[in-house]
Amino acid sequence: MGQLTREEIQLEAVRRKERILAYMTQDPPVPLNQIKLMEGMHDRACRILIQEIEQEHGIKYLGSPASKTAKEALPYGLTNATARLRGRLGDHLYQLRERGNNHDTFGRNQVAPQIGLNARQQLRAEQTPFNHDWSLSQIERLARSLGEEPREFLLKCLTT
């Protein structure tokens, strides 16, 4: 592909704006993540362009539920088996935290670092478990914190 002239680049910019406007105004609107993918744009550049379009056409898109990807949708390539496993791990994390809040030495704040999670990841793993992508080291630490052998613990989570 040869070097484009300034006029051609400007024409492409106009076409891109028209396309993104069509994506934003279709029913239901295309989520922001999907628009970025389709246009091959970085987050910041895409948001700035969408803000321009919002101002030009008097529409509200950014921040609206339509611009966000559905939370219940599993990432590409994953099945309900992963969602079930994440749910089980979330249950065990909740049990560990509750145990700490009652009488054990672990409290709410001590559980997360012990598993290798930060506070935000702990909340996500418990409250929206399908969205937390557990690492093997976190699973092993969770099992050991619960006093279980990691292999047996993971098998139990996968089969129950």
Q: How far is it, in rounded angstroms, from Cα 87 to Cα 147?
A: 20
Distance CA 17, CA 27 (A): 18
The single residue listed with the structure tokens 């409250």 is 127
- Which amino acid is residue 33, in one-letter code? N
Q: Does 72 bind other proteins (CB under 8 A)?
A: no
Q: Is 32 in the site for other proteins (CB under 8 A)?
A: no
Q: If binding is defined by CB under 8 A, does position 16 make contact with other proteins?
A: yes
Q: Does 158 bind other proteins (CB under 8 A)?
A: no
| Region from 22-30, 90-98, 103-111, 151-159 binding other proteins, contact rule CB under 8 A | 22-30
Nearest one of 21, 47, 17 to 32, comparing CA atoms: 47
Check binding of 130 to other proteins (CB under 8 A).
no
CA distance 23 to 32: 9
In residues, how long is the chain? 160
- Contacting range for other proteins; rule: CB under 8 A; set: 40-48, 80-88, 112-120, 123-131: 40-48
Chain residues that interact with other proteins, rule: CB under 8 A: 1, 4, 6, 9-10, 12-13, 15-19, 22-23, 26-28, 30-31, 33-34, 37-41, 45, 48-49, 76
